[in-house]
Amino acid sequence: MHKSLLSVLALAGLAACAAPTAPKDYSALNAASPRSILIVPVVNNTTEVDAANTFLDTLAPPLGNRGYYVFPVNLVRHTMDDSGLGDANLVAQASPTRVASLFGADAVLYATVEQWNAQYILLSSSITVQIHYVLKDGKTGAVLWDQDETTVYVPQGASGGNPLADLIADAVIAAVTRAHPNYIPLANQANAEAFNTPQQGLPFGPYDTRHGGF
Amino acid sequence: MQKRLLCLLPVLAVTACAAPSQGPKYNWGNYSPALVAMDADPSSAGNYQAALAKIVNDSNGQVPPGIFAEYGYMLQQQGDTKDAIAMYAREKSAWPESGFLMDKMIAALQTPAQPKPAA
């Protein structure tokens, strides 16, 4: 009995962290070894109007915490406006080396929100977001890293351990989410999955003692 | 023996799974929520600026990358050229990677293109 329980536990533990995909090829990124990342305005291919700014405004902390110098996002956005690069689609189509040279950046991070599907059902809600991240070399324009991230976000409330109270709380959260959406936790979740997953995300940058590792 | 091995497996699996989480590297304070709020409603710019000031004043030498410059930019928007330049200089000194951009920002403030007519 004990033994079988332990077996199940062991399997559950292993299944929980099974790596779904092969490790990425980091040779280009390691060769370029960027110290600084310029985050450019996010392209929005969805009808969710807040998606682009929510992602743009949440990208600096995870990249900075990863050990890279991250250029000041708001200053950069307004400076780009003044340089005729006010629109995210224009920036995405411009030469990465030109964009990088305006700011002295080693690498440029592009993000595109490809899908945004909100499902509101009676007692809870979930949002499925697909976002594509590409890091390009500021000197050559070559792709150093990219990630197609799909994340399912479920607004969480603190559970009090009372099923009825939880049901009511979930219903309230669903209603609140519909009226005043706060998408920052969603963006944080997608960014963390994209950047921090070992062998898939971005290796630690020069300001982390684990530089080059995960 | 077998039982002991099985005992260890879940522990190993969980250990292997756990990201080497060492907590957030910097204190970003209310940076992202305040920036999102300002984008949605420009009248909350003061709130965003206050969030930046708090990060600059609270972090003992561990101000996150870009924050001195973001704060300087808000000061510049208000015409506080002297303090804006000081913040750009602190960004450059803390983060050499920002040197090229900070030099440009400072130079632009030190050489006004057109003298504005007195109001």
- Beta bridge partners, A112, equal A43, A132
Question: Does residue B15 surpass a pLDDT of 50?
Answer: no
Greater model confidence, A206 or B24: A206
Note the pLDDT of residue A151.
95
Note the pLDDT of residue B11.
46
**In which band, very low, low, confident or very high, does the pLDDT at A206 lie, cut at 50, 70 and 90?**
very high
Mean pLDDT across A145-149: 97
Spatial distance between the Cα atoms of B95 and B64, rounded to a whole number of angstroms: 10
Residue A72: which of B7, B24, B70 has the nearest Cβ? Answer: B70
Question: Does residue A2 surpass a pLDDT of 60?
Answer: no
Alpha helices in B18-114 (DSSP H): 31-40, 45-58, 67-77, 81-94, 99-110
Note the pLDDT of residue B14.
44
pLDDT digits 0-9 by tens, B40-58: 999 999 999 999 999 999 8
Closest residue in B to A193 (Cα) is: B19
Spatial distance between the Cα atoms of A211 and A30, rounded to a whole number of angstroms: 10
- Beta bridge partners, A132, equal A112, A148
Note the pLDDT of residue B76.
98
Closest residue in A to B10 (Cα) is: A10
Spatial distance between the Cα atoms of A41 and A90, rounded to a whole number of angstroms: 10
Note the pLDDT of residue A182.
82
Query: Using the beta-carbon criterion (under 8 Å), do A57 and B98 form an inter-chain contact?
Result: no
Query: Using the beta-carbon criterion (under 8 Å), do B35 and A57 form an inter-chain contact?
Result: yes
Chain-centre distance for alpha carbon B61: 13
Note the pLDDT of residue B25.
80
CATH number of A25-196: 3.40.50.10610
Note the pLDDT of residue A107.
98
**In which band, very low, low, confident or very high, does the pLDDT at B91 lie, cut at 50, 70 and 90?**
very high
Query: Using the beta-carbon criterion (under 8 Å), do A54 and B36 form an inter-chain contact?
Result: yes
Domain ranges of chain A: 25-196
Note the pLDDT of residue B84.
98
CA dihedral of A96, A99, A100, A104, whole degrees rounded to 10: 170
Question: Does residue A213 surpass a pLDDT of 90?
Answer: yes
Helix H or strand E encompassing A158: none
Question: Does residue A175 surpass a pLDDT of 70?
Answer: no
Mean pLDDT across B104-116: 81
Contacts of B95 in chain A (CB under 8 A): 69
**In which band, very low, low, confident or very high, does the pLDDT at A121 lie, cut at 50, 70 and 90?**
confident
Say what the ipTM of the complex is.
Answer: 0.82
| Closest C-alpha to A206, from B101, B105, B25 | B25
Residue B26: which of A2, A3, A64 has the nearest Cβ? Answer: A64
Question: Does residue A185 surpass a pLDDT of 80?
Answer: yes
Chain-centre distance for alpha carbon A36: 18
| Closest C-alpha to A121, from A180, A174, A160 | A174
Greater model confidence, A11 or A210: A210
Note the pLDDT of residue A161.
57
Query: Using the beta-carbon criterion (under 8 Å), do B33 and A78 form an inter-chain contact?
Result: no
Closest residue in A to B33 (Cα) is: A184
Residue B95: which of A12, A69, A208 has the nearest Cβ? Answer: A69
Tell me the whole-structure pTM to 2 decimals.
0.81
Greater model confidence, A162 or B118: A162
Question: Does residue A157 surpass a pLDDT of 70?
Answer: no
Contacts of B69 in chain A (CB under 8 A): 71-72, 75
Spatial distance between the Cα atoms of B29 and B36, rounded to a whole number of angstroms: 14
| Pair A132, A85: CB distance under 8 Å | no
Spatial distance between the Cα atoms of B66 and B78, rounded to a whole number of angstroms: 19
Note the pLDDT of residue A55.
96
3-class secondary structure, B79: coil
Query: Using the beta-carbon criterion (under 8 Å), do B64 and A60 form an inter-chain contact?
Result: yes
**In which band, very low, low, confident or very high, does the pLDDT at A78 lie, cut at 50, 70 and 90?**
very high
- Beta bridge partners, A146, equal A134
A36-39 vs A69-70, strand pairing mode: parallel
